[in-house]
Amino acid sequence: MIDSAVLDQAERILAQVAPKEVVIVVLPKSMSVGLSGNPGMCVKTEQQKTWITGQMDNARDYVAENLADRWNELMKAVAINTLVIKEEVFAGTPAYQSAVIWHEYGHALHEASETGNVFLFEVATLTENRSTLGDKDVRDVLNSRTAAYKGAKDPGRAELIAFLEEQWQIKLA
Ligand SMILES: [Zn+2]
């Protein structure tokens, strides 16, 4: 069930890095299948925009009743570079929640594909916030996502590798 607490939490994490015009949507567990293995996505095409709006329409039964108006407004606001995050992400640590949301915002700032630029935005922002998110929790997230970082494409791959080694002594290559 999507309630205002989970939407507020998503918006609060995004607001640390993005202007308030950027829209973030949380999709209930039951609707997340279309995202396959990914915990989130960044809307990059008109087709994805239509798909997400349809998913949100289908999800109405899983949205708290007092959120109906806010949900309608969110549906209207979906645009290119809207972020869509799975509900189950919010069962993770704040460091993990931030990693997923900031990764997706990295797609809004950079490429749609999994480039070093996108991952570097994610890991650099986590590093900047390590004191509030918890050094250990950030390191756990970085370690758990090492396989994804290894698959990073150019542009930005070399910078990502250098950053992780310098800041966290994590070796990708
Ligand atoms: Zn991605």
What is the Å distance from ligand 1's center to 107 Cα?
7
**Ligand 1 center to 66 CA (angstroms):** 32
H-helix segments, the chain: 4-15, 46-58, 68-77, 94-109, 116-128, 130-133, 135-144, 146-150, 157-168
Mean pLDDT score across all residues of the chain:
94
- Tell me the percentage of the chain whose pLDDT exceeds 90: 91
Lowest mean pLDDT among 58-72, 92-106, 113-127, 154-168: 58-72
What is the amino acid identity at position 90? F
Report, as an integer, the average pLDDT of 150-163. Answer: 97
Q: Is the pLDDT of residue 98 over 90?
A: yes
Q: How many CB atoms lie within 10 A of CB 173?
A: 9
- Tell me the domain boundaries of the chain: 4-90, 92-168
Distance 65 CA to ligand 1 centre (A): 32
Task: Give the span between the Cα atoms of 31 and 56, in whole angstroms.
Answer: 8
CA of 47 to the centre of ligand 1 (A): 18
d(CA 106, CA 104): 5
Ligand 1 centroid vs 157 CA: distance in angstroms? 14
Cα(166) to ligand 1 centroid in Å equals: 23
Cβ atoms within 10 Å of 136's Cβ, excluding its own: 11
pLDDT in tens, 23-79: 999 998 766 555 667 899 999 999 999 999 999 999 999 999 999 999 999 999 999
> Which positions ≥6 away from 84 have C-beta within 8 Å?
24, 25, 26, 27, 35, 40, 41, 42, 43, 52, 104
